Amino acid sequence: MRKWIGVALALMSLAGAAACGSSKKSTTTSGTPATTPAAAANATVEALVPASVKSKGTLTVAADASYAPDEFVGPDGHTVVGMDADLSKALGQVMGLKVSVVNATFATIIPGLAAGRFDMGASSFTDNKLREKTVDFVDYANVGESFYTKTNGGASIASIADICGKTVSVESGTTEEGDAKTQGGKCTKAGKAAVKVLVFSTQTQANLAVSSGRAQLGFADTPVAAYQVKQSGGLFKLIGAAYAPAPYGLAIPKKPGLAPAVLAALKALDANGTYASIFAHWGLQGIEIPASQVKINGATS
| Rounded CA separation 178/243 (Å) | 13
Domains 4-143+246-293 and 145-245 share a fold: yes
| Rounded CA separation 260/49 (Å) | 8
| Rounded CA separation 63/105 (Å) | 8
Q: Tens place of pLDDT for every residue, the chain, 301 residues?
A: 222 223 332 333 333 332 223 333 333 344 444 344 567 899 999 999 999 999 999 999 999 999 999 999 999 999 999 999 999 999 999 999 999 998 999 999 999 999 999 999 999 999 999 999 999 999 999 999 999 999 999 999 999 999 999 999 999 999 999 999 999 999 999 999 999 999 999 999 999 999 999 999 999 999 999 999 999 999 999 999 888 899 999 999 999 999 999 999 999 999 999 999 999 999 998 899 988 889 999 998 8
For 250, the enclosing helix (H) or strand (E) is strand 236-253
For 138, the enclosing helix (H) or strand (E) is strand 135-150
Give the SS3 label for residue 94. Answer: helix
CATH architecture of 4-143+246-293: 3-Layer(aba) Sandwich (3.40)
| Rounded CA separation 192/182 (Å) | 14
**What is the reported pTM?**
0.81
- Which of 119, 136, 110, 134 is CA-nearest to residue 26? 119
- Domain at 145-245: CATH code: 3.40.190.10
Ranges of each domain in the chain: 4-143+246-293, 145-245
